[in-house]
């Protein structure tokens, strides 16, 4: 039922009392509540009370599945030809995470369709759309017809949420933000997965991160979230798997929008950082396996690797850019054999960060670097803040490499004078020591199905 077919089968105060007393909603009650949210039958005070009751009393797994379905059905649900293997990926957010830019075209180059609905960055995590909008002409807003045409001719697109997809989530999320109910597991799950379910994918892979630069700080927290997401994703009809991945150090060597686009293009040439390449091929391999296009995840990993190193993914990305508004000359210059990165924004100043000692770089604090990048203007502290696409941080050395005292191990790209103490802060984010007992943490910690 749509948001405009509200039937007054229940009284809102009675439903609020039920949840505040620890009751369990039926599927029909949840559908009524979500329709009432859309049509504002529930006023702001009642919505705040409902969200707080859910945060304090929780929801059963069944309730969370019902809530996700009802939110999905509150707006437009995409439909595709039956023979299209439609898939998507979701990351819980990280530092330097430009995986989607390489993953979507690599998957499309191997015959699956990827209607990726992405978001913009907030706080210390960068947004996929912010990165892509550093490319001149890129248009994240597309109509349903344009999305279908891009999916049909290219195989993938990366777009923002349209006004008619999961409208219930917009009002509920805004209310969560002002009622301190953002960190509620059922509300987190339903918000994320309802938007993915509205894409009607046959398979979904989750990249659930843990560590300093992630929202989930420990593996145990991430595993709990991942298992819940897998269960709800499967409950709403998407074949869902999850990879637990470490987020103590940045992904790749860049933090910042245009800088990360450059690195994603390197990955699309098979020349990107090993950790970025590993994430892309493992996530892609899972999706190829989930759709039955390969017999094992290992076969899928090999297929995605070949799409990257062989140029098929890069050619697909070039076509996607053009479909999404990038002039042909710009797209071809960026995606050609010898890329012209002058097409992308660049900062006025580049300040090297010298190493404070000689030895092995054994740790880099991704959260400290992300917060500095935010201070430089690469991100936003609140929704609606402008973003400087040119600024950010480049790592010249990564964990496991040797560095000499005074040698630059990183660069700060900035358009204005550096904030006081920022150079010292980024120096302290690196741990350099002489050691023969260094053992890097595995990037991919576990797989959940």
Residues noted as catalytic: 90, 169, 176, 191, 195
3 state DSSP class of 87: strand
Q: How many residues does the chain have?
A: 449
Question: How many whole angstroms separate alpha carbon 427 and alpha carbon 215?
Answer: 24
Question: How many whole angstroms separate alpha carbon 289 and alpha carbon 313?
Answer: 18
Question: How many whole angstroms separate alpha carbon 194 and alpha carbon 179?
Answer: 21
Structure tokens at 68: 């996700």
Contact criterion met (CB below 8 Å) for 158 and 104? yes
Report CA dihedral (295, 301, 303, 309) to the nearest 10 degrees.
-170
Report CA dihedral (271, 272, 275, 276) to the nearest 10 degrees.
-130
Residue 367's CB: how many other CB atoms inside 10 A? 18
Give the β-pairing of 444-448 and 239-246. Answer: antiparallel
Structure tokens at 107: 């998957």
Instruction: Map tokens 């697909």 to a residue.
Output: 316
Structure tokens at 206: 């989750």
The dihedral of CA 320, 321, 322, 328: what is its sign?
Answer: negative
Contact criterion met (CB below 8 Å) for 50 and 19? yes
């Amino acid at each position: 039922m749509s948001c405009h077919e509200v039937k007054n089968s229940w009284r809102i105060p009675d439903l609020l009392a039920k949840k505040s007393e620890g009751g369990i909603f039926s599927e029909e009650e949840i559908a009524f509540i979500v329709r009432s949210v859309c049509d504002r039958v529930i006023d702001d005070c009642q919505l705040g009370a409902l969200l707080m009751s859910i945060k304090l009393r929780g929801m059963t797994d069944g309730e969370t599945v019902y809530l996700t379905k009802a939110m999905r059905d509150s707006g437009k649900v995409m439909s595709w030809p039956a023979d299209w293997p439609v898939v998507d990926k979701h990351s819980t957010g990280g530092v330097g995470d430009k995986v989607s830019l390489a993953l979507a075209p690599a998957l499309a180059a191997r015959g699956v369709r990827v209607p990726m609905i992405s978001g913009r960055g907030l706080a210390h995590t960068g947004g996929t759309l912010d990165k892509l909008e550093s490319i001149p002409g890129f248009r994240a807003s597309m109509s349903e017809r344009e999305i279908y045409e891009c999916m049909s001719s290219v195989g993938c697109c990366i777009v923002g949420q349209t006004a008619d997809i999961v409208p219930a989530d917009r009002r509920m999320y805004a209310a969560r933000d002002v009622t301190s109910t953002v960190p509620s597991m059922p509300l987190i799950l339903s918000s994320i997965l309802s938007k993915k379910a509205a894409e009607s994918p046959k398979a979904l892979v989750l990249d659930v991160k843990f560590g300093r630069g992630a929202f989930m700080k420990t593996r145990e927290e991430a595993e709990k979230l991942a298992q819940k997401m897998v269960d709800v994703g499967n409950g709403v009809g998407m074949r869902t798997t999850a990879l637990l991945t470490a987020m103590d150090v940045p992904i790749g060597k860049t933090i910042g929008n245009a800088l990360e686009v450059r690195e994603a293009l390197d990955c699309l040439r098979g020349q990107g950082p090993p950790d970025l390449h590993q994430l892309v091929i493992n996530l892609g391999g899972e999706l190829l396996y989930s759709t039955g296009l390969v017999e094992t995840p290992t076969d899928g990993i090999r297929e995605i690797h070949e799409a990257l190193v062989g140029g098929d993914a890069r050619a697909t990305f070039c076509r996607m850019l053009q479909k999404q508004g990038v002039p042909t000359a710009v797209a071809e210059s960026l995606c050609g054999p010898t890329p012209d990165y002058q097409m992308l924004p660049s900062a006025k100043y580049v300040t090297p960060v010298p190493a404070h000692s000689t030895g092995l770089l054994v740790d880099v604090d991704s959260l400290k670097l992300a917060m500095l990048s935010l201070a430089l203007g690469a991100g936003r502290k609140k929704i609606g803040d402008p973003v400087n696409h040119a600024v950010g941080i480049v790592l010249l050395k990564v964990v496991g490499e040797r560095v000499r005292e005074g040698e630059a191990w990183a660069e700060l790209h900035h358009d204005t004078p550096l904030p006081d103490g920022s150079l010292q802060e980024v120096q302290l984010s690196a741990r350099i020591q002489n050691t023969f007992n260094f053992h890097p943490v595995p990037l991919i910690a576990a797989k959940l199905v």
